[in-house]
Chains A and B, each alone.
Chain A
Amino acid sequence: MADTAVHDAVDEHDDHGHGDVHHTSTGLSNNKLAMWLFLGSECLLFGGLISTYMLYRGRHSANGGPDQFWDIPFTSASSFVLLMSSLTMVLAVTAAKRKDDRNTNLWLTVTAILGSLFVAGQVYEFTTFYREGLGYTTSLFSSSFYTLTGFHGVHVSVGVIMLLATVGMILKNRIPGDKAEVVELVGLYWHFVDIVWILIFTLVYLIPA
């Protein structure tokens, strides 16, 4: 979707002709600066979605609220998976800084697998809720819940694609410029998706409406 296009467009790392770290006024990398700006911007996107959910979370029929549907143990497990994927991502970044391609690829792949596992968990959770009677249009609560977590899920999926693409490009040695920086940027995006989930997990799941 439109949103996806932005991520990947912003995340291009190969405009190096003008991005050589040594030539910039601040000595900082253009790409990394762009990524942080993008993440700053994303704060307002998720802030809006979280606020919408917070406003509407209590607006549902008598027994159609969070308490009837949440499966805390399951969601905790998938939160744990996503949290651990942040660790494996960091390990990929440190491996990339050591110029250790083998371990970079290994940890990137593990991160992608954990991310996919999280998305799979979300799909399972959504289908379960749907079967139990929580459709997208059932209530304001359900619409805002699915919208918020759906946007997050799309972000995770985009991240998985980015991870796998990075693995592929490292394997084929097709990354122009600084390999470690590419991995680091993918990592920043990935951690951002994780911190958004840290907020969602507490605000949406753990705190009762």
Chain B
Amino acid sequence: MSTDTAHATDHDDVHDDEDHWNDEGHWTDLNYIKLALALAVITAIEVAISYMVDDLGPFFLPLLLGLMLIKFFSVVLFFMHLKFDNRLFSLMFYLGLGLAVAVYTAALFTFKFFSP
């Protein structure tokens, strides 16, 4: 991790002219590094949570799934630029994602996967 941040500082001089071409909500390399750090922290929290099944009880599953979704959509929206990009790209991807979630959830439902 330390090497990554070290390298980022080497590039601070570039950041100034970066803003000219970067119209994507002014996300600079530094923003991406911060986001990656945040994701790393979330991963650490996730791992910690995974050892606390008994302590968290009913909160265990929603917490883990919630963190997973935060990570998932952070990468999709920012690393993959969907937040800044044309909405047609979002449509194509979310159509596939939505269909996948819908049909497979329905199929698992018929297997009584969600019944206790």
Please list the residues of chain A having a beta carbon within 8 angstroms of any beta carbon in chain B: 26, 28, 32-33, 36-37, 39-44, 46-48, 50-51, 54-55, 72-73, 76, 79-80, 83-84, 86-91, 94, 97-98, 100, 103, 187-188, 191-192, 194-195, 198-199, 201-203, 205-208
**B89 pairs with A36, CB closer than 8 A:** yes
Docked Cα-Cα span, A138 to B75, in Å, equals 35
Q: Is B59 an interface residue (CB 8 A)?
A: no
Q: Is B99 an interface residue (CB 8 A)?
A: yes
**A44 pairs with B100, CB closer than 8 A:** yes
Q: Output the least CB separation between A159 and chain B (Å).
A: 14
**A94 pairs with B1, CB closer than 8 A:** no
Please list the residues of chain B having a beta carbon within 8 angstroms of any beta carbon in chain A: 1, 4, 11, 14, 18, 21-22, 28-29, 32-33, 35-36, 39-40, 43-44, 46-47, 49-51, 53, 61, 64-65, 67-68, 71-72, 75-76, 79-80, 86, 88-89, 92-97, 99-101, 103-104, 107-108, 111, 113
| Nearest A-chain residue to B28, judged by Cβ | A94
Residues on the A chain within 8 Å of B32, using CB: 87, 90-91, 94
Q: Among A28, A37, A51, A98, which residue has its beta carbon within 8 angstroms of that of B104?
A: A51
**B72 pairs with A199, CB closer than 8 A:** yes
Q: Output the least CB separation between B109 and chain A (Å).
A: 11
Task: List 4 A-B pairs, minimum CB-CB distance, nearest first.
Answer: A40-B96, A47-B100, A87-B36, A202-B68
| 26 contacting pairs across A/B (C-beta < 8 A) | A28-B86, A28-B89, A33-B88, A36-B93, A39-B92, A40-B93, A43-B93, A46-B100, A47-B100, A51-B108, A55-B108, A72-B51, A73-B47, A76-B43, A84-B40, A87-B32, A94-B32, A97-B21, A98-B18, A100-B14, A103-B11, A187-B80, A188-B80, A195-B72, A199-B68, A202-B67
| Nearest B-chain residue to A34, judged by Cβ | B92
A26-B88, A36-B89, A83-B43 are known contacts; what are 8 more A-B pairs with Cβ within 8 Å?
Answer: A44-B99, A47-B100, A72-B47, A76-B44, A84-B36, A86-B36, A191-B75, A198-B68
